[in-house]
């Protein structure tokens, strides 16, 4: 992996700041561009002119070094880099810990060799040029320094060209990476570098064709995407004191809470004891070059309140900025463990300035805010908030549970007025309230039938099927238009799914945990959201508790409809092995990690 122009995602390209950022991040090398000033000095600049990446104008080859180095080369990227200037190649070679691929733009090869050899850098430099004559000249003058031919696309004649000019490899644009030619170069032992690959599709396309080098401005995201290196953060990175048993990062969320175009990360430590035992802690780390340093944090003050046990992000007030709902499920807000949800209003200046409790009238023990999800249930263009209250007692049944779907409201946010309450006392919901079923403890949202309305998926891992106790089910509440008489949210239909249903793979088994975890994504790219359902206590090959995951595909008729698959660790291509009490499927998340 090469940092293209240095780590140009976090600092201005081809500056010492971007090179140091690459070295500090542990990136092994960088691609830099070199041009010649009017008085023969070699400087880092990709363009022929100074216009794009400095506050100056004009061709670099028409100006002496003194003029070029007086140019501000950083404030166009961020005012913090206003002191950055256009560096010399010699300055770049002095940055420790980096190999450099040096792209020669009309730079004389003898001058380049003089600078490289003066710096003692011949063993950590690769010279790149689009000029075959320059590379042939370099091959005779400094055969020990590797060279690459820069081309816009791979062609069948490249292997012969490389041999003729004595080059060592090829550097190509992502769009010019042709499969047949790439494989032919590999067979000839000629390395291929893909230069300027800036998205996941380009990264994985390069890897699929076994490119040897990828140069990208987003160097560390590429490293993480490939699994070459992982970021590990602790509470201290987010401004919290690392404490025993604080459950740091047990809950996570994300959204753009300050409308700067970058995702912000929300981290919860619901058992944190910095202000009260089990009081909890919430940190919002704003995205950007300072991540994770730009923070807003708050610790809970109520003993065993578990502040920050769940999060949901959405634009609940239609102001164009994500807001954050924070669950506080064991807060004694109106009776023991009544729970509460706090709304933090997003703003261009940052989150945390407007905070207020939201939700329905509370009763003790209901644990409002234990789980949450976001979707536009009534398709009015404003996000609605789905809030679980799994401890709610109904018809004398303790912890039968409820789900509240609170409509978002322009200029206000989620409101209890017009909310839909889902539980087993509803006429459309099958069954009766059951003790310890805890409806609302596992919640997700997606448009499973493609009608434009978000649907609620409620995991019930303790629910009974007709013939099996505690096998687990998933309750799906379809979104629909508001009630025309009251204006309140109204369900567009309810279905309960389980492994007792035809078309859903596997068998309903006692204590199988079907519905213990949920994740939503369009896995087959057909335009309908699909639902992944974890069953971490299911038996696999006779091993109890090995666990599996069932993917229910969405369609115009909703989830399932004969389209479902099961995934477990006995399957080829699934890492690991199915083991008793392995709990596979106990935690689920979904995203496009391969850029397809």
- Residues 374 and 472 grouped into a single domain: yes
pLDDT at 209: 87
The answer on pLDDT for 170 being more than 90 is: yes
Q: How confident is the model at residue 121 (pLDDT cuts 50, 70, 90)?
A: very high
In a domain? residue 268: no
* Contact criterion met (CB below 8 Å) for 457 and 446: yes
**Strand 251-255 versus strand 264-268 pairing type:** antiparallel
pLDDT in tens, 57-90: 999 999 999 999 999 999 999 999 999 999 999 9
Report which DSSP code applies to 176.
G
- Residues 335 and 484 grouped into a single domain: yes
Q: How confident is the model at residue 200 (pLDDT cuts 50, 70, 90)?
A: confident
Among the three residues 227, 254, 276, which one is the final residue of a domain in this structure?
227
- Residues 217 and 340 grouped into a single domain: no
pLDDT at 595: 62
Q: How confident is the model at residue 291 (pLDDT cuts 50, 70, 90)?
A: confident
Q: Please give the Cα distance from 359 to 307 (Å, whole number).
A: 16
The answer on pLDDT for 508 being more than 80 is: yes
In a domain? residue 68: yes
pLDDT at 513: 96
DSSP for 38-100, written as a single string: TTS-EEE-SSSBSTTTSS--SBGGGS-HHHHHTS--STTT-GGGTT----BHHHHHTSTT-EE
- Residues 358 and 506 grouped into a single domain: yes
Question: Per-residue pLDDT averaged across 373-393, rounded?
Answer: 97
pLDDT at 572: 85
pLDDT at 594: 64
pLDDT at 354: 56
The mean pLDDT value of the chain amounts to 92
CA-nearest of 203, 166, 162 to 186 is 162
Q: Please give the Cα distance from 535 to 201 (Å, whole number).
A: 32
DSSP for 348-398, written as a single string: TT-SSSSEEEESS---TT--BTSSEEEE-TT-SSS-EEEEEETT--BTTBT
Q: How many CB atoms lie within 10 A of CB 69?
A: 17
pLDDT in tens, 536-559: 999 999 999 999 999 999 999 999
- Residues 334 and 214 grouped into a single domain: no
In a domain? residue 573: no
Q: Please give the Cα distance from 429 to 420 (Å, whole number).
A: 13
* Percentage, residues of the chain above pLDDT 70: 97
The answer on pLDDT for 25 being more than 90 is: no
Q: What is the pTM of this model?
A: 0.70
Question: Per-residue pLDDT averaged across 218-227, rounded?
Answer: 74
pLDDT at 229: 60
- What are the C-alpha distances in Å from 375 to residues 386, 405, 448, 566, 592? 8, 10, 12, 26, 19
Among the three residues 227, 256, 278, which one is the final residue of a domain in this structure?
227
* Contact criterion met (CB below 8 Å) for 306 and 332: no
- CATH code where residue 131 lies: 3.20.20.190
The answer on pLDDT for 224 being more than 90 is: no
pLDDT in tens, 83-109: 999 999 999 999 998 999 999 998 777
pLDDT at 575: 83
pLDDT at 49: 97
- Residues 525 and 379 grouped into a single domain: yes
- CATH code where residue 325 lies: 2.130.10.130
The answer on pLDDT for 151 being more than 60 is: yes
The total of structural domains in the chain comes to: 2
- Residues 218 and 322 grouped into a single domain: no
Q: Please give the Cα distance from 433 to 464 (Å, whole number).
A: 12
pLDDT in tens, 305-346: 999 999 999 999 999 999 999 999 999 999 899 999 999 988
- Residues 363 and 505 grouped into a single domain: yes
Between CA 386 and CA 393, with CA 390 as vertex, the angle to 5 degrees is: 125
Question: Per-residue pLDDT averaged across 213-233, rounded?
Answer: 77
In a domain? residue 188: yes
pLDDT at 228: 63
- Residues 329 and 421 grouped into a single domain: yes
Among the three residues 205, 227, 249, which one is the final residue of a domain in this structure?
227
- Residues 207 and 354 grouped into a single domain: no
- Residues 330 and 432 grouped into a single domain: yes
Q: Please give the Cα distance from 513 to 534 (Å, whole number).
A: 8
Query: What is the span of the domain harbouring residue 410?
Result: 309-567
- Higher-pLDDT residue of 35 and 110 is 35
- Residues 315 and 426 grouped into a single domain: yes
pLDDT at 590: 93
């Amino acid at each position: 992996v090469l940092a293209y122009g240095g780590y140009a995602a976090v600092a201005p390209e081809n500056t010492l700041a971007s090179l140091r950022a690459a070295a500090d991040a542990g990136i092994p090398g960088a691609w830099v561009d070199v041009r010649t000033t009017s008085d023969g000095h070699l400087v880092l600049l990709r363009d022929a002119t100074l216009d794009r990446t400095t506050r100056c104008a004009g061709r670099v080859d028409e100006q002496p070094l003194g003029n070029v180095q007086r140019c501000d080369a950083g404030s166009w990227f961020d005012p913090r880099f206003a002191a950055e200037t256009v560096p010399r190649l010699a300055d770049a070679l002095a940055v420790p810990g980096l190999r450099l691929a040096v792209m020669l733009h009309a730079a004389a090869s003898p001058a380049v060799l003089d600078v490289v050899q003066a710096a003692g850098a011949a063993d950590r430099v690769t010279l790149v040029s689009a000029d075959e004559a320059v590379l042939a000249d370099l091959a005779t003058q400094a055969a020990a320094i590797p060279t690459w031919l820069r081309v816009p696309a791979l062609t069948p004649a490249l292997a012969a060209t490389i041999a003729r000019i004595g080059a060592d490899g090829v550097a190509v644009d992502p769009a010019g990476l042709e499969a047949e030619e790439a494989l032919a170069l590999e067979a000839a032992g000629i390395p291929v570098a893909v230069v300027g690959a800036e998205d996941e599709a380009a990264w994985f396309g390069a890897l699929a064709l076994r490119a040897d080098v990828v140069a990208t401005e987003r160097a560390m995201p590429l490293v993480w995407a490939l699994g070459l290196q992982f970021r590990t953060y602790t509470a201290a990175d987010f401004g919290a004191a690392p404490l025993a048993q604080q459950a740091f990062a047990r809950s996570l969320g994300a959204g753009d809470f300050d409308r700067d175009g970058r995702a912000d990360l929300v981290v919860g430590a619901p058992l944190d004891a910095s202000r009260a035992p089990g009081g909890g802690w919430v940190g919002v780390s704003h995205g950007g070059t300072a991540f994770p340093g730009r923070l807003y944090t708050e610790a809970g003050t109520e003993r065993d309140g578990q502040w920050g046990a769940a999060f949901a992000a959405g634009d609940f007030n239609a102001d164009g900025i994500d807001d954050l709902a924070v669950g506080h499920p064991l807060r004694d807000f109106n009776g023991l463990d009544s729970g509460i949800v706090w709304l933090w209003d997003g703003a261009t200046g940052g989150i945390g300035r407007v905070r207020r409790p939201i939700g329905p009238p509370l009763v003790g023990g209901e644990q409002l805010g234990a789980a949450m999800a976001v979707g536009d249930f009534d398709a009015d263009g404003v996000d609605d908030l789905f809030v679980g209250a799994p401890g709610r007692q109904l018809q004398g049944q303790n912890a039968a549970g409820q789900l509240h779907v609170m409509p978002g409201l322009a200029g206000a946010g989620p409101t209890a007025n017009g909310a839909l309450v889902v539980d087993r006392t509803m006429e459309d919901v099958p069954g009766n309230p059951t003790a310890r079923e805890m409806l609302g403890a596992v919640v997700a949202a997606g448009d499973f039938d493609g009608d434009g309305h978000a649907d609620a998926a409620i995991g019930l891992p303790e629910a009974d099927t007709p013939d099996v106790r505690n096998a687990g089910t998933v309750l799906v509440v379809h979104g629909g238009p508001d009630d025309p008489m009251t204006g309140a949210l109204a369900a567009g239909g309810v279905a309960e799914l389980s492994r007792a249903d035809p078309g859903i793979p596997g068998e309903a088994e006692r204590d199988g945990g079907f519905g213990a975890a949920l994740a939503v994504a369009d896995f087959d790219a057909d335009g309908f959201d699909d639902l992944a359902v974890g069953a971490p206590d299911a038996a696999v090959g006779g091993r109890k508790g090995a666990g599996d995951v069932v993917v229910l595909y969405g369609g115009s008729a909703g989830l399932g409809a004969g389209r479902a698959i099961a995934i477990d660790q006995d399957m080829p291509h699934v890492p690991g092995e199915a083991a008793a009490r392995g709990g596979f499927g106990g935690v689920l998340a979904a995203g496009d990690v391969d850029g397809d």
